[in-house]
Structure 1
Amino acid sequence: MNIEALYNLYSQHYLVDTDTRNIRKNTIFFALKGANFNGNKFAEEALSKGALYCVVDEEKYKTSESIIVVDDVLKTLQELSNFHRKKLNIPIISLTGSNGKTTTKELINIVLKEKFITNATKGNLNNHIGVPLTLLSMTPKTEIGIVEMGANHHKEIAFLSTIAEPDYGYITNFGKAHLEGFGSVEGVIEAKSELYDFLISNHKKIFVNQYDPIQVEKTKNANVIFLENSISFVSASPNVNVRLNAINIQTNLIGKYNYNNIACAITIGKYFGISDEKIKKAIESYISENNRSQVLKIGSNDVVLDAYNANPTSMRAALESFDQQLSNGKNKVVILGDMFELGDTSNKEHQEIVDLSNSLSFQKVFLIGEHFYQTDIESNNLKFSNFENFKDYLIQYDINDSNILIKGSRGMALERTLNFLN
């Protein structure tokens, strides 16, 4: 079956699923394969749960006329999403960067929703599977699409750009993330700039933070839209407060590092004709979740939970921001988990974070994970080779009446700490 014929089936309901645990009625099930699973085996189950069609790439699983055999399910999913993107003929905004992608995407989405029917990447479905699924979740009713792109190797952003074919793009920043795959910060810049390369070669527009010299240099020959100069930073104690012209916007986000994320959303909102008042309403309504800079009250403790991801750049920004926040008379306690995918630089980067922590005004620093366990620490701080050992400590020694920052890579799952705080 060719893509156009498959698209005719898809366009009956504009539904696609890849997991039989969450099958929707009238969907098309794409039987993806992974290192430890073969989606082909679940084709009949998908049909029994309400799927209209299944796409497989092994002939032996074609047990029904509703099961379509292709050469490669993943490639077909990607081709279908690009075919659909062309049919939609709507503005697509893509963004990438080392830190802040998801928060920026959510802010852009909530602002544009004040005027348009939007569809944005769910969570962090931003890879070679997530981007196609994001595009295929859009319908003819969608007026603007917002597509987040992630990568840990070269050429990934370039490939995702050919699928999404964005009209606008934004790179949040270039930081020390996925160094194992990119090799160096220079490698990060080169890889993330693949989005710039696509937009420039296709004569599209780029939103640029004019205060980032790397972004300015990379886009000097591009059609750029600079961040609004009518936006100013007011304070971040504890929440970020910005001013848009004469309007004060008090956000629910913490950390001065979120200022650029907010400024980008405001700029894109104004570009698409959203009024200052509606931008204020939208941004003030946004509350971070999913372990991303969440502010929580746990017993007598005020907790900043930022345990979704971590790299040296975001870790440094979080520590410096936490240090600058008002203490309200409480101790400041930092709980840090290992940063992953740093390759040969791992020991150096973890030690630098420890040294930074020692130089700031924290009463206690807890370091968790094999990488942090190899670092040299000051006597008033503690390190644990794994979370279980840290948990045993927490059970025995309560942390009370403190401001607590919890940050680490996703694999550390430091949100588990909340279960042991009073």
Structure 2
Amino acid sequence: MIIRSIDAIIRMLDADYIENGAIEDKIQGVCIDSRKVVEGNLYIPIHGVKNNGHAYVAQAIANGAKAVLWERKEPNPPKEVVVILVEDTTKALQDLAKAYRHQLNMKVVGITGSNGKTSTKDILASLLQEHYITQKTLGNYNNEIGVPLTLLSLSENVEAAVIEMGMENLGELSFLTHMVEPDIAIISNVGTAHLENLKTMENIAKAKLEIVEGLKEHGLFIYNGDQEILQNAVTHAQIPGHIRIRTFGVKPQNDYVISHITQKREGVSFCLNDDVCPYHVDMIGKHQAMNATAAWIAAKALGLSVEEIREGYQNIEKTGLRNELVDFGKCLILNDSYKSNPQSALAALDTMEEFDVPYKIAVLGDMLELGDTSDMIHYTLGKDLAKYHLNEVLTIGDMARYITQGAFNNLTGVHIEHFTDKEALICYLRPYEHKDCMLLVKGSRGMKLDEVVDALVKKEEEVVK
């Protein structure tokens, strides 16, 4: 994390200050939540949707804040600590992160994508740890607040950083990538996430491609070459000639071609180009072969050996709620409740299809942020369920009713039921701990379907005790 004198912070921001303490003292880390401030932090009060962080400065100081940023327009700055005056605390957070990034001698990989960016981040960070002192974005800190906090959390001796970048509108990735200035940029894929804001898939591809704008000179751009929509966007983007470009995918025209993908409970295996010895990745889902290959290309570009990559694939520190296998008595739960869109839902169903289990249940919740055609997109997902060997389809949420309708109209011999509340769904599912079966739980984060998994597993643990 950033450790600098208060005077250095003032100079990095070119800011004025109120000297209520020694500016030679050092701050250790930054925090935007007054409740989580620890001794030595720089407290940065942010204007949120509902709260103004300036109102909680007393709690931050009580918890040990050494200094605070303060917007000039805000009255009553504190008198107990050094106050650094800025026009906008959010912009100051971002400016400080960019200045700190320039002070660190490290290689940076920036990752974006509609699906798979977090898994790619987790895989690549595990690979790089075999060779470098490595840090990565924690959780989903990938927006205009999360990215600067991630940069400011990096240690002084970090050698490689893997930074996840998200977006909801055009221009957002451009802003983030100019802050991060990656040596390598990866686009895992383009999907329908954020269709509500961007209206067309072409706009989504264009927005994702903004990540290239911040690439360092002679940087490396890696992207999913199987997707025609992304390929077309790259063709029309007029990427500077000094940027190196590599593609990956299962189609033969790619620079790195993936083949012989196999899935077991222990993970996924695949071959790459002419390698006869397959790679094994400690993650489930055949789509993870794509994410692992993007990470492979970046790791090789940063000097890792094949042996180091193979070892790193076995030690992946995974972010939770994504393709997570959880035991529930005799039932095996595939918990993929962090996010959902049609592409990731079908990928999760593909993963469940690979398991040799006699009875399979899909619990599907709303897919959010899909725009005006959300009802038809949900209905189409319901129709697509006919391709899978499912015994039950259970849905929950207002939009998920359309999944139910699509399933009713296209599936035969399958129990289909819609639930209006989680408690009823949980009660329905509890008896399945005694059945040899598999349960997929998939929905957008706003649906909080992880609460369903937690309730089932917690109940089983209480019984065991």
TM-score (norm 1): 0.91
- Structure 2 equivalent of residue 235 of structure 1: 262
Match for 1:18 among 25, 32, 36? 32
CA contact (8 A) 2:139 2:319 kept: no
CA contact (8 A) 2:206 2:233 kept: no
- Structure 1 equivalent of residue 370 of structure 2: 342
Match for 1:400 among 430, 435, 441? 435
- Structure 1 equivalent of residue 12 of structure 2: 3
Change (3 A) 1:59 1:303: same
Provide, for residues 80-108 of structure 1, a one-character-per-residue CA deviation record: whole Å limited to 9, x for no partner. 11111122243221111100111101111
Match for 2:313 among 283, 294, 307? 283
Provide, for residues 213-252 of structure 1, a one-character-per-residue CA deviation record: whole Å limited to 9, x for no partner. 4444444544213447486443123431124635443323
Partners of 1:412 and 1:205 lie apart in 2 by 37
CA contact (8 A) 1:249 1:284 kept: no
Provide, for residues 50-69 of structure 1, a one-character-per-residue CA deviation record: whole Å limited to 9, x for no partner. 22111122231333342323
Partners of 1:412 and 1:362 lie apart in 2 by 22
Change (3 A) 1:395 1:117: closer
Change (3 A) 1:154 1:11: farther
* Secondary structure in 1 matching 2:245: strand
CA contact (8 A) 1:32 1:73 kept: yes
- Structure 2 equivalent of residue 32 of structure 1: 46
CA contact (8 A) 1:252 1:288 kept: no
* Secondary structure in 2 matching 1:115: coil
* Secondary structure in 1 matching 2:314: helix
- Structure 2 equivalent of residue 258 of structure 1: 288
Partners of 1:295 and 1:6 lie apart in 2 by 50
Pair 1:353 & 2:381 matched:
yes
Shifted more, 313-322 versus 174-183: the winner is: 313-322
Match for 1:225 among 224, 228, 246? 246
- Structure 1 equivalent of residue 251 of structure 2: none
Pair 1:80 & 2:101 matched:
no
Q: Residue 203 of structure 1: CA displacement?
A: 5.0
Matched residues, percent identical?
30
Partners of 1:10 and 1:302 lie apart in 2 by 57
Q: Residue 48 of structure 1: CA displacement?
A: 1.9
Match for 1:387 among 409, 422, 429? 422
- Structure 1 equivalent of residue 181 of structure 2: 165
Q: Residue 171 of structure 1: CA displacement?
A: 0.4
* Secondary structure in 1 matching 2:179: helix
CA contact (8 A) 1:10 1:28 kept: no
- Structure 1 equivalent of residue 136 of structure 2: 120
Mapping for residues 94-133 of structure 1, pairs under 5 Å: 94-133=110-149
CA contact (8 A) 1:56 1:73 kept: yes
Provide, for residues 311-353 of structure 1, a one-character-per-residue CA deviation record: whole Å limited to 9, x for no partner. 1111122223322x1324x201111111001111110011011
Change (3 A) 1:6 1:275: farther
Change (3 A) 1:389 1:230: closer
- Structure 2 equivalent of residue 50 of structure 1: 64
- Structure 2 equivalent of residue 417 of structure 1: 452
Q: Residue 160 of structure 1: CA displacement?
A: 0.8
Provide, for residues 275-319 of structure 1, a one-character-per-residue CA deviation record: whole Å limited to 9, x for no partner. 222211211122534111101111010111000000111112222
Coordinate RMSD, CA, aligned = 2.6
Q: Residue 49 of structure 1: CA displacement?
A: 1.3
TM-score (norm 2): 0.83
* Secondary structure in 1 matching 2:79: coil
Q: Which amino acid aligns with 1:263?
A: T
Pair 1:304 & 2:313 matched:
no
Partners of 2:136 and 2:25 lie apart in 1 by 19
Partners of 2:215 and 2:150 lie apart in 1 by 20
Change (3 A) 1:230 1:116: farther
CA contact (8 A) 1:196 1:219 kept: no
Q: Which amino acid aligns with 1:420?
A: L
Q: Which amino acid aligns with 2:39?
A: K
Q: Residue 4 of structure 1: CA displacement?
A: 4.4
CA contact (8 A) 1:120 1:147 kept: yes
Partners of 1:215 and 1:321 lie apart in 2 by 24
Q: Which amino acid aligns with 1:326?
A: F
Change (3 A) 1:219 1:204: farther
Aligned residues: 419
- Structure 2 equivalent of residue 151 of structure 1: 167
Change (3 A) 1:265 1:6: farther
CA contact (8 A) 2:134 2:161 kept: yes
Q: Residue 14 of structure 1: CA displacement?
A: 4.9
- Structure 1 equivalent of residue 7 of structure 2: none
Mapping for residues 319-330 of structure 1, pairs under 5 Å: 319-323=349-353, 325-328=354-357, 330=358
Partners of 1:211 and 1:363 lie apart in 2 by 32
* Secondary structure in 2 matching 1:145: strand
Partners of 1:68 and 1:198 lie apart in 2 by 29
Partners of 1:305 and 1:269 lie apart in 2 by 29
Shifted more, 58-67 versus 115-124: the winner is: 58-67
* Secondary structure in 1 matching 2:326: strand
Partners of 1:399 and 1:341 lie apart in 2 by 37
Partners of 1:10 and 1:321 lie apart in 2 by 56
Q: Which amino acid aligns with 1:262?
A: A
Partners of 2:175 and 2:147 lie apart in 1 by 10
Partners of 2:384 and 2:88 lie apart in 1 by 49
Pair 1:41 & 2:70 matched:
no
Q: Residue 195 of structure 1: CA displacement?
A: 1.1
Q: Which amino acid aligns with 1:51?
A: A
- Structure 2 equivalent of residue 209 of structure 1: 224
Q: Residue 396 of structure 1: CA displacement?
A: 7.4
Provide, for residues 182-214 of structure 1, a one-character-per-residue CA deviation record: whole Å limited to 9, x for no partner. 1121221111111134439x5532123344444
